[in-house]
Structure 1
C-alpha cells in the first residue's frame, strides 16, 4: 500500500512539472515573426481599413436612388363632388378619389461620380500604405523585444551562475567559521555580495517580465504563457562597408510607406480639388408625374426637369479649402522625405559604430577565458590561494565584461533593425 502511495505521489509531481513546462513555449525568432504576422490584433484591425476603403469605392460607384411620391390623395370624395361619377373605382366598386404620383431621378453632372470614385481609389492606396507603415513599426517593436529578451535570458544565466558560486562558497565558509579557521568578516563579505547579485537578478527578472508582456501582446498569446527564445542560428548582419548609403537613401524615398503615403496625399488632394470644382455644376433631376382628377384633365401625365441656379453658392469655400489642402500636402511630402533621409543617415551611422565595436570585441574573444577564470578564481579562493579582495574584484569585472559584451551584441542587432526600419526595406 505504501508503494502505491509513493507511486501516486510521484505521478502527481511529474504531472505538476509537466503542467508548469507546458506554460513555457520555446520559439525561434523566425517562428515568433511568423506567429506575429498571423495573430497580431493591431495588424488585423489595420488591414480592415483597406476593406473599408474598398467599400467606399463600391459606395461611390452607386447611382442615386430614384424618388417616389404619392400625394393629393382625397380620402373623403363623395358622389356629390363634380366628375366623381366619371372616375373608375380604385379599390372595390365604390372608392373613387383623386391623387397624384411623381417619380424623379437625380443625375449627377460634370462626371462627379467618376471623380469621386477616383478620389476614393487614392484613399484605398493611402489605407494600404497606412497598413504597411503600421506593419513596419510593429516589426521593429517585435524584433527589438526579441533582442531584449535574448539579452535578459543570457544575463540571467550569468547572474545565476555567480549566485550559485557564491552560495557554494558561503556554505564552505560557514563550516570554516564554525571551526575557527577563518574570520567571520570574510563570510559577511560573501553574503553581502550574494545579496547584491540576488537583487540585480530580481531587477533583471522584472525587466524580463515586462518584455514578455510586450512580446505576448504582439503575438496575442495567453497571459499565463512564458516564451523562451531559442537562438538556433545566428543571423548574419550586413557589413556597413557593403551598404551603399546613397542607394539606400534613394530606396527609402521609393519604399518607405510614410513617404509613399505623403505623396499619395498630394494625389488625393488633387482629386479632391477636381471633385470640388465639379460641384460648381448643378445636378439635374428628371421627373415624371401622373395626376388623377385634380386638374382639367381626368388623367394627366407630365414630365419635368429641375436644377439649382448657381448664383449665390458656387462651392467657393470648399474649392478654396481643397486648394490650400493640396499646397499643404505638397509641403508635408517634402518634409516627410527630408525626415526619412535624416533618419536613415542617423540609423546608418549608429549601426556602423556599433558594428565596429562588436567586431573589435569579437577579436579579443574573452568569453571562454572569463568563464574558465571565474571557476578557477572560485577554486583558488576556497584553497586560500587568493585574497577575498582579489576574488571580489574579479567577480565584478567578470559581470561587467559579460554584460558589456551582451549589451553590444544586443545593440548591434537593434541598430540593424533600426536601419532596416529607416530604409523601409529588408537588407539581405
Structure 2
C-alpha cells in the first residue's frame, strides 16, 4: 500500500514538473528582463555600442586630414631693425623679407589623394567592425536562446527529482523503500545540478558579452525571442557562386586590403616626386643696408639633388606595393577557403537536421510517460527508468545543440560573405 502511494505520488509530481518546470528558468529579475528578438538586439547594438561610436571618430579624423592636405604652405616673413653701424644712425636701417614655398611635381595633389584613401580606409574599417560585432551579437543571441532551452530541460528534471527525493527519504525513514533507491536518485540529482550549473555559467558568460554589445545594464536578464523559421532555412537557397561573388563585392576588409595597394601606389608616385626639389620664391627690401638706399630684390631657392634623391623612400614604397599585393592575395585565398569550408559544413548540418523527425520531441515525451507506467507496474526497475529519462534529456540537449549549430553555420555564411542572406525573418 505504501509503495503504491509513493509511485502514484511520483507520477503526479512528474507530470506537474513537466508542465511547470519548463518556465522556472525563464523567471528573471523582474523588470530588468530584456525580452527581444534578434532585430531588436541589432538596433540597440547600432545605436549604443561604444566600439562603433569610437570607430566613427576615425572617419572624422581622416576627413580632417584631407582638409590639411589641401592647404598651401604659409609664406614666411622676416623683419630686421638696425642696432649699430659706422655711417648712419643704426636704428634708421630696416629690412623686410617675404618668401613662399611652392611644391613641385604634383606633391600637393598626391598628398590629397593619400588623405582621401585614408578616409575610405577608415570607413571600410568601421563597416568591417560592424560586420564582426554583428556576427558576435547574433551568434551570442542564438547561443543564449538554445542554451536556455537546454536549461529548461535540466530544470524540469532537477525539479522533478528534487521533489521525488524528499518523498523517497520520508518513505525510507518509514521502511517502505530501500536505501539504494534514495541514493540512486540523490546521485542522479547531484550530477544533473553540476551539469546545470556548468550550463548556466556558459549562459552567463555569453549573456555578459551580449549585454556589452548592446550596452545593457549588468543586472539585466536577457530573454531572446527566436523565430523558429530560422532553423528551417536551407543553405541551398543561395548558390555557392552567388555567395562567393557577394563576398568579393561586399567584404569591407577586402576593400580595405585593395585600398592599401592603391595607397602604396600613390605613395610611390609621391616618393618619386619628393626627389624633385621644391622652389621657394622670395622678395626682400633693405632701406640703408645695401649698396644704395631702398634696395628691393627678388630671389629663388631650391636644393640641388646631387646626393639625396630619396632613393630609400622610393625603394620602401615599391616594396610596400609588393607586400600589400601579396597580403591582398592571401586574404582572397583565405576568404575562398573559409567560404568553401563553412558552406560544406552548413550542408552537412542541414542534412543531419533534416534526418530528425519533427515529431521526435513530442513522441519522446509521450514515450517517457509510458515508460513511467511500466515502472509503476514494476515491469522495469528504477535504474532502467532513470537511464531512460537521462536518455530523454541527452536527446533533447543534442537536438538543441544541432539547431544552434545549424543556425550558427548560416550566420557564419552571412559573416564570410558580408551579406545578410540567412536568418532574416
Report the TM range for the smaller structure's normalisation.
0.7 to 0.9
For 2:195, the equivalent position in structure 1 comes to 200
For 2:365, the equivalent position in structure 1 comes to 371
Structure 1 residues 19 and 155: alpha-carbon distance in aligned structure 2, compared to 1, 3 A threshold: closer
Equivalent of 1:113, from 102, 108, 117? 108
For 1:342, the equivalent position in structure 2 comes to 337
What are the equivalent positions in structure 2 for 1:70-149 lying under 5 Å apart?
70-71=79-80, 73-75=81-83, 82-84=87-89, 96-149=91-144
For 1:247 and 1:284, locate their aligned partners in 2 and report how far apart those are by CA, in whole Å: 55
For 1:391, the equivalent position in structure 2 comes to 385
For 1:357, the equivalent position in structure 2 comes to 352
For 1:143 and 1:218, locate their aligned partners in 2 and report how far apart those are by CA, in whole Å: 10
Instruction: Give the unaligned 5+ runs of structure 2.
Output: 1-26
TM-score by length of 1: 0.87
Q: Which range moves more in the overlay, 166-175 or 277-286?
A: 166-175
Which digits, 9 at most, give the CA deviation of each residue in 1:339-378, with x for residues without a partner?
11111101100111111111111x2521112333445545
Equivalent of 1:33, from 36, 42, 61? 42
For 1:7, the equivalent position in structure 2 comes to none
CA contact (8 A) 2:142 2:226 kept: no
For 1:55 and 1:195, locate their aligned partners in 2 and report how far apart those are by CA, in whole Å: 63
- Superposition RMSD on alpha carbons, in Å? 2.2
For 2:282 and 2:252, locate their aligned partners in 1 and report how far apart those are by CA, in whole Å: 49
What are the equivalent positions in structure 2 for 1:104-253 lying under 5 Å apart?
104-231=99-226, 234-235=229-230, 238-253=233-248
For 2:268, the equivalent position in structure 1 comes to 273
Q: Which range moves more in the overlay, 248-257 or 388-397?
A: 248-257
CA contact (8 A) 1:169 1:382 kept: no
Structure 1 residue 231: Cα displacement: 2.5
For 2:226 and 2:242, locate their aligned partners in 1 and report how far apart those are by CA, in whole Å: 32
Structure 1 residue 398: Cα displacement: 0.9
CA contact (8 A) 1:60 1:113 kept: yes
Aligned positions, number:
396
Structure 1 residue 236: Cα displacement: 6.2
Q: Which range moves more in the overlay, 40-49 or 192-201?
A: 40-49
Instruction: Give the unaligned 5+ runs of structure 1.
Output: 1-17, 88-95
For 1:22, the equivalent position in structure 2 comes to 31
For 2:306, the equivalent position in structure 1 comes to 311
Structure 1 residue 178: Cα displacement: 2.6
For 2:395, the equivalent position in structure 1 comes to 401
Structure 1 residue 336: Cα displacement: 1.4
TM-score by length of 2: 0.87
| Counterpart secondary structure, 1:206 | helix
For 1:46, the equivalent position in structure 2 comes to 55
